[in-house]
């Protein structure tokens, strides 16, 4: 009588290894570029969820990597936050917004509506709105830097286009006044707050974004002329040296 071959409690060895042992899938080795991209994408999601007070240890756990590996790519938490700022706020900035606002072959109303249609498509996203709000609450400088960008590249252009629409002097004759910038803020903030209500307060909007933008632009253009004429009329003219 032939006996079956003896086996140990751990299973007999075969040509393929230990019988019964679960084969582990091979670990995929990512390139440094791909690994960095995944870390940044995960950081955007994580900080948008918990705020910038979130710990890198927890972020590493969620990413399935060690904390030392994270710090190999970003030497400090601040360096990672800076990269998140560039990824979410700067990389999504579209220079064609600026040229659109200056295109006087189109009516100013049409330009403003189209600009805010494009702009809102970028910022009306949960991670954008939430990161922007968390930054302000944490007292970080992300908001201040972004606001400086808005005012310098967009708001000043809108002020100048409003003046041109009304036949008022240009900036070379009368410098842009702070009150004019604040006038544009009234338009911009009203549209921005649509995203705050949707992504922060989870409130149901009564209008679609396109309709809200049209109403905001029309309201601004109907009231701005009177205010703007008075502001420019009272402003001191730029001194021209001989």
Q: What residue spans define the domains of the chain? A: 32-87, 92-234
Structure tokens at 168: 């008022």
Q: Where are the alpha helices (DSSP H) in 3-107?
A: 32-50, 56-63, 67-73, 77-85, 96-101
pTM of the model: 0.83
Residue 17: what pLDDT? 47
User: Model confidence at 234, in pLDDT bands (50, 70, 90)?
Assistant: confident
Q: What digits encode the pLDDT tens for the residues 113-123?
A: 999 999 999 99
CATH, domain 32-87, list 1.10.3720.10, 3.40.50.1970, 1.10.10.60, 1.10.645.10: 1.10.10.60
Across residues 96-112, what is the average pLDDT? 98
Candidates 38, 125, 33; CA nearest to 88 is 125
């Amino acid at each position: 009588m032939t006996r079956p071959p003896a086996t140990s409690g751990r299973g007999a060895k075969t040509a393929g290894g230990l019988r019964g042992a679960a084969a582990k899938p091979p670990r995929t080795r990512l390139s440094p570029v791909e690994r960095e991209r995944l870390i940044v994408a995960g950081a955007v999601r994580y900080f948008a969820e918990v705020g910038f007070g979130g710990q890198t240890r927890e972020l590493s756990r969620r990413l399935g990597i060690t904390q030392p590996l994270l710090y190999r790519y970003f030497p400090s938490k601040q360096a990672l936050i800076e990269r998140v700022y560039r990824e979410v706020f700067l990389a999504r900035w579209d220079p064609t917004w600026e040229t659109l606002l200056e295109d006087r072959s189109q009516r100013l109303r049409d330009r403003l509506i189209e600009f805010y249609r494009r702009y809102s498509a970028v910022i009306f996203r949960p991670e954008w709105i939430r990161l922007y709000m968390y930054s302000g609450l944490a007292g970080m400088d992300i908001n201040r830097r972004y606001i400086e960008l808005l005012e310098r590249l967009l708001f000043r252009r809108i002020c100048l286009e409003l003046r041109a629409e009304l036949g008022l002097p240009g900036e070379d004759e009368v410098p842009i006044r702070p009150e004019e910038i604040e006038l544009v803020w009234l338009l911009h903030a009203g549209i921005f707050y649509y995203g705050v209500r949707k992504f922060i307060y989870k409130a149901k909007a009564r209008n679609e974004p396109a309709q809200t933008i049209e109403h905001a632009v029309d309201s601004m253009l109907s009231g701005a002329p009177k205010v703007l004429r008075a502001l420019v009329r009272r402003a001191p003219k730029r001194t021209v040296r001989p």
